[in-house]
Amino acid sequence: MRFEPNINLHITRDGKTYKTPIVEVKNLNSFKALTGTIAYEITRQYEKWLGDGDYTIEKHPKENRGYDDDRGITLFQRSKEEAHDYRYFPDPDLPPVRIDDAWRERLRSSIGELPLARKSRYIESFSLSENDAEILTQDVAIGDLLDGAISAGAEAKQCVKFLLGKASAIANERGCNIAEIGLTVSNLAELAKMVSAGEINATAGDKIFTLMIESDDSPKQIAKAQNLLAVSDAGQIAQWVDHAIAANAQAAEDVRSGGKKQKRAFGFLTGQVMQQSKGAAVPAEVQRLLREKFGM
Mean predicted confidence (pLDDT) in 248-265? 86
The Cα–Cα gap between 223 and 219 comes to: 6
User: 182-217 pLDDT, tens per residue?
Assistant: 999 999 999 999 999 888 888 889 999 999 998 889
143-147, 215-219, 285-289: lowest mean pLDDT where?
Answer: 285-289
pLDDT value of residue 219: 94
Confidence band (pLDDT; 50, 70, 90) for 88?
A: low
Position 85 confidence tier, pLDDT thresholds 50, 70, 90: low
pLDDT of residue 82: 58
Confidence of residue 84 (pLDDT cuts 50, 70, 90): low
Specify the CATH architecture of the domain 234-294.
Orthogonal Bundle (1.10)
Whether 86 shows a pLDDT value over 60: the answer reads: no
pLDDT of residue 87: 60
For the cut 70, the answer to whether the pLDDT of residue 147 exceeds it is: yes
* pLDDT of res. 232: 73
What is the per-residue pLDDT for 92?
83
Task: Name the pLDDT band for 81 (thresholds 50, 70, 90).
Answer: low
User: Looking at residue 253, what is its pLDDT?
Assistant: 87
Residue 83 pLDDT > 60, yes or no? Answer: no
Indicate the pTM of the whole model.
0.57
Task: Give the model's pLDDT for residue 166.
Answer: 94
Mean pLDDT taken over the chain: 88
Dump pLDDT digits (tens) for 105-129: 898 888 888 899 999 999 999 888 8
Give the tens place of pLDDT for each residue, 25-37.
988 999 999 999 9
User: 50 falls in which pLDDT band (50, 70, 90)?
Assistant: very high
Residue 7 has pLDDT above 80, yes or no: yes
- With cut-offs at 50, 70 and 90, classify the pLDDT of residue 149: very high
Q: Where are the domains of the chain?
A: 6-98, 116-225, 234-294
